[in-house]
Amino acid sequence: MSGGPFACRSCGSRAVELILSLGATPLANSLLRKEDLDKPEPRYPLDLVFCTACTLVQITETVPPRQLFGEYLYFSSFSETMLAHARDLVGRLIAELGLGPRSLALEIASNDGYLLQYYKAAGVPVLGIEPAENIARVAIAERGIPTLSEFFGSPLARRLVGEGRRADVVHANNVLAHVPDLGGFVDGIREILTDDGVAALEFPYLGDMIDRCEFDTIYHEHLSYFSLGALVKLFSAHGLAAVDVERLPLHGGSLLLTVCRASSSRPCKGTIVELLEEEKARGMDKLPFYLGFAERVAALKQRLVGLLARLKAEGKRIAAYGAAAKGSTLLNTFGIGADVLDFVVDRNTHKQGLYMPGVRIPIGAPAQLVERAPDYTLLLTWNFADEILRQQDEYRRRGGKFVVPIPDVRVV
């Protein structure tokens, strides 16, 4: 792929090398209504590449953001794990930064107010920025979180600064990967921060994705897949300094990265140097580290598809849990359709009654596992395995088993 027309989203280089091709797939979050089932679905190539200039791993296709995020069905508040993590993080930052009624906490891609509600409860003024209008309405109506329904970038940051609004803390959770114009987004963070403010960014960690064969986190909304090394280069090119990093178990392995203006007096903690050295020792800044990934994904496909075929041959009934984007990637790229799975269940009431993209399997409520009693349930949202296995205690007590596909196929 060297020298092709694609230019790296971080540094603009055209020197990119293919790591993995997942073929052409439908948009992973474009769930279908019943009346859509006889219409063709658009499919887009899903190719993962490595930039040899700045080491950023990314996909080559950019689907227009309005198409992806204008109306969105992911509500963070449906996950207890996410709420507990947000509450703990906010409590810690209020104490560390000494935030109070004269501060401003801003979140980019603030979803339904799941995180900012904890600042608000502590008396810290908040502002949410959430492009999906249906979700912004929920944040305003149900949680009283002031929310702008816009895409964040340098123009919006400059407008807010012009109105006298600068943030002492900026949160950006699982949004950086979605951004086509990384430079403009990072410029916006620098512009909106106070001189000594900090931004806390969370994102799935590339090292864990490769180690644990988490290929299903690759879909068209996730444009970039970050190592710390690639991000340090991006931030320093735009006047920000990385000062702390923490590894989190969320989403199959994430990083919580703290950055501030390069001119700030905040010292850089040893955690940054340690992880950069670990990445270098593992060779994450070089192409060969990534080249075995495609073979490992192919081997995983063989194991999972083989197991499901054996179960079907024995007359077993199989369902799936989790109508999330990662499930759509796994089902579509592995060719697991309605001939294998009877139905999918999901706790998100906004998804029930719809159909999975591509494979067109109906989505129902989790209660269907007990009511319809499939012998096996493929756990597509394996990143919340502990939470879901706890909630499905009754189904398991009655003999139902879960198939967990990642990092390796196992039956629970």
* pLDDT 10s digits, 321-357: 999 999 999 999 999 999 999 999 999 998 999 999 9
pLDDT at 70 over 90: no
- Rounded to an integer, the average pLDDT of 79-95 is 91
- Core vs surface per residue 258-295: b (16+ CB within 10 A) or e: bbbbeebeeeeeebbeebbeebeeeebbeeebbeebbe
3-state secondary structure string, 224-270? EEECHHHHHHHHHHCCEEEEEEEEECHHHCEEEEEEEECCCCCCCCH
pLDDT at 2 over 90: no
pLDDT in tens, 118-138: 999 999 999 999 988 889 999
Q: And the tokens for 190?
A: 């620098």
Q: Are 282 and 228 in contact (CB under 8 A)?
A: no
Q: Which residues pair with 200 in a beta bridge?
A: 171, 258
- Decide the pairing of beta strands 410-411 and 401-404: antiparallel
Q: Are 317 and 342 in contact (CB under 8 A)?
A: yes
pLDDT in tens, 149-170: 999 999 999 999 999 999 999 9
pLDDT at 73 over 60: no
What is the overall mean pLDDT for the chain?
94
Confidence of residue 78 (pLDDT cuts 50, 70, 90): low
What's the rounded Cα separation, in Å, for the pair 284 and 407?
19
pLDDT at 4 over 70: no
Q: Tell me, what's the pLDDT at 132?
A: 87
Q: Are 363 and 343 in contact (CB under 8 A)?
A: yes
Give the orientation angle of helix 228-237 with respect to helix 270-282, to 10 degrees: 120
What's the rounded Cα separation, in Å, for the pair 373 and 392?
12
Q: Tell me, what's the pLDDT at 79?
A: 74
Residues of the chain with pLDDT > 70: what percent? Answer: 96
Q: Tell me, what's the pLDDT at 165?
A: 97
Q: Tell me, what's the pLDDT at 249?
A: 83
Q: Tell me, what's the pLDDT at 326?
A: 94
What's the rounded Cα separation, in Å, for the pair 176 and 205?
12
Q: What is the pTM of this model?
A: 0.90
Q: Tell me, what's the pLDDT at 69?
A: 59
- Rounded to an integer, the average pLDDT of 245-271 is 92
